[in-house]
Amino acid sequence: MTNRLAHLVCRFGLLACALELFAAESSVPPEFADARKLIEQGVSEGRVPSVAVAVVKDDRLLWAEGFGFADLESQRPATADSIYLLASVSKPITATGLMVLVDRGQVDLDKPANGYLPGSKLRANLGSADEITVRRLANHTSGMQVHYNFYYDSVPPLSHDEVIRRYGIAHTEPGLRIEYCNLAFGILDYITEAVSGMPWRGFMEQNVYDPIGMSHTSDRVRPGLESMATRPYQLDLAGKFIRVPPYQFDHNGASAIWSSARDLSRFLRLHLNSGTVDGRRLLKEETARSMRKVTARRSPARPEAGFGVAWALGSTLGHVFFEHTGGMPGVATWIRGFPEDRAGFVVLINASGVDLLGKVADQITRALFPDGREVPRKTAAEELVERKPEPFVGEWKGALAHWEGDIPMVLRVAGDGNVTVRLAKREPIPVREVAFANRTLKGQMRGLLKTQEGYHGPVTLEFNLNRAGEELIGIGVAKAEGYFALSHGVRLSRQASEETPGTKE
């Protein structure tokens, strides 16, 4: 096949190019020899079941290869076309579909998200729900906080409307700061579906994946490609890989997309080229560029670092990048692009609990920029941290907001820093790992709390409460490792007591 013919095959959105497959996997550029050796060593030592990589430079695929086994039981080899679950690398893909609707004038990023939701509406414990804009969902400043929810054993996920009813609540003022939230991207896939009038899967396949030749990509393994899907594993304490059973989500747009390293190399080229790949324009140039503009900053000391529309933004070795990483049971993924250098890479691993992802990403980055040097960073002035319990000593009474109804809550802080919590009519339970810093109280307790319908074990309830005058306001996150982390609002008022030391401000 000639270069010209291969280019035309890709241009019209057919299956990934045979020429790319041959060229990228038959000759590895020498600068990536160390990265390749690192991966081969990790596979041979049993540290990962498989790794798939793709590296692009100057709008062409330099290297694409799979290592190890996509399926350990059958010993099926991994390739650059093996299909991996992406975890949070799904987010910039979901956002790209949303931006197609922005280009069509059907979505305004700076309008309230509730205006696009057909059923349940978002709420705000602080600030206004109207301040939860589409953009703030996409750059993690909606005020909603930690949320992930994995459903095993064929337990059906909640509907979009029910998830929003239970958990679609801003616990901090929208726009105030970055609070990474998977639910925000579950809401964005719902908005895409509602505005387009199509099921999200169909919209994305017809309007994003297929037009740019991502034939191995969807929120499913497409029919006919089942033999190319990787199996997810977890590394146990004995150093053995355990198969992770299938699970579903209530935040598909955040976590549910499957793809291959080769398909993602095309997606990466799309964004490095500001919305076009192989002559096919998917997004307007200004739209694609706006996705990698910082609209939520991590720190005043690092103006280049933060979030744009889904992309995490920053710099390393003196080169600015846009990127996203992903991790959940059986998955570890990374996509990073350097727009000023027209370069980038993809790394996909079908396991969690492994340490190879960051090492491979770092090795590829250094291969791309062998003369790169870290730029000295300005350090933000450290805030005065007060780690004493005195400002919190006393009794605080209020409620933990639960979707079945508020649960009465009493929190007591003793002068020695010991903390107990009483929920409803239960006996007080000691809070562990208590920490005081400035106006924040953190700690955790274990017990039973109704959460996901398919889960019946105990949860860890982690508190993060901020003092505002005579109130403690924040969240209690119900966590079960590998299953969920679900945020519940907490609001408590200080109770008057003759024994309470003078702590009024």
Q: 400-445: per-residue pLDDT in tens?
A: 999 999 999 999 999 999 999 999 989 999 999 999 988 899 999 9
pLDDT tier for residue 279 given thresholds of 50, 70 and 90: very high
Residues contacting 96, CB < 8 A, separation 6+:
208, 267, 270, 271, 282, 283, 291, 310
Rounded average pLDDT over 311-339: 97
Token pair 């990962």: residue? 48
Residue 154 in this model has a pLDDT that exceeds 70 = yes
pLDDT 10s digits, 467-503: 999 999 999 999 999 999 999 999 999 998 655 444 4
Q: How confident is the model at residue 15 (pLDDT cuts 50, 70, 90)?
A: very low
How far is the C-alpha of 216 from the C-alpha of 194, rounded, in Å? 25
Token pair, residue 102, equals: 């922005």
With 80 as the cut, is the pLDDT of residue 8 above it? no
Cα separation, 408 vs 431, in Å, equals 17
Q: Looking at domain 390-494, does it have CATH number 2.40.128? A: yes
Strand, coil or helix: what is 332? strand
Find out whether 363 and 385 touch, Cβ atoms under 8 Å: no
Task: In whole angstroms, give the CA distance from residue 335 to residue 105.
Answer: 29
Specify the pLDDT at position 379.
55
Which pLDDT score is estimated for 377? Answer: 63
Distances 194 to 97, 432, 457 between C-alpha atoms, Å: 13, 44, 35
Give the model's pLDDT for residue 220.
97
**Mean pLDDT value across residues 200-209:** 98
In the chain, where are the structural domains located? 28-381, 390-494
Pairing label, strands 459-468, 471-480: antiparallel
User: 333 falls in which pLDDT band (50, 70, 90)?
Assistant: very high
Average pLDDT, the chain: 91
Question: What DSSP line would sit under 416-467, residue for residue?
Answer: TS-EEEEETTSPPEEPEEEEEETTEEEEEEEE-----TT--S-EEEEEEEEE
Cα–Cα distance, 396 to 463 (Å, whole number): 14
CA distance 482 to 148: 9
User: Which band of pLDDT confidence, cut at 50, 70 and 90, is reported for residue 385?
Assistant: low
Strand partners, 468: 471
Query: Counting every residue, how long is the chain?
Result: 505
Band (pLDDT 50/70/90 cuts) for residue 41 is: very high
Same fold, 28-381 and 390-494: no
Mean of the pLDDT values across residues 320-335? 98
Looking at the predicted structure, is the pLDDT value of residue 17 above 50? no
For residues 160-184, average pLDDT: 97
pLDDT-wise least confident of 110-119, 315-324, 383-392: 383-392
**pLDDT score, position 24:** 43
Specify the pLDDT at position 13. 40
pLDDT at residue 373 is higher than 90? no
Instruction: With beta carbons less than 8 A apart as the criterion, state whether 344 and 273 touch.
Output: no
75-120 tens-digit pLDDT: 999 999 999 999 999 999 999 999 999 999 999 999 999 999 999 9
pLDDT on residue 226: 97
CB of 285 closer than 8 Å to CB of 17: no
Is residue 60 predicted with pLDDT exceeding 90? yes
Task: State the burial class of residue 428 (Cβ atoms within 10 Å of its Cβ: 0-12, 13-18, 19+).
Answer: middle
Q: Is residue 266 within 8 Å of residue 208, measured between CB atoms?
A: no
Rounded to 5 degrees, φ, ψ at 44 are -65, -30
User: What integer pLDDT is reported at residue 21 of this predicted model?
Assistant: 42
CATH 3.40.710.10 given to domain 28-381: yes
Determine how many CB atoms are found less than 10 A away from the CB of residue 480: 17
CA distances from 117 to 93, 113, 289, 343 (A): 20, 7, 26, 37
Nearest to 308 by CA among 325, 283, 289: 289
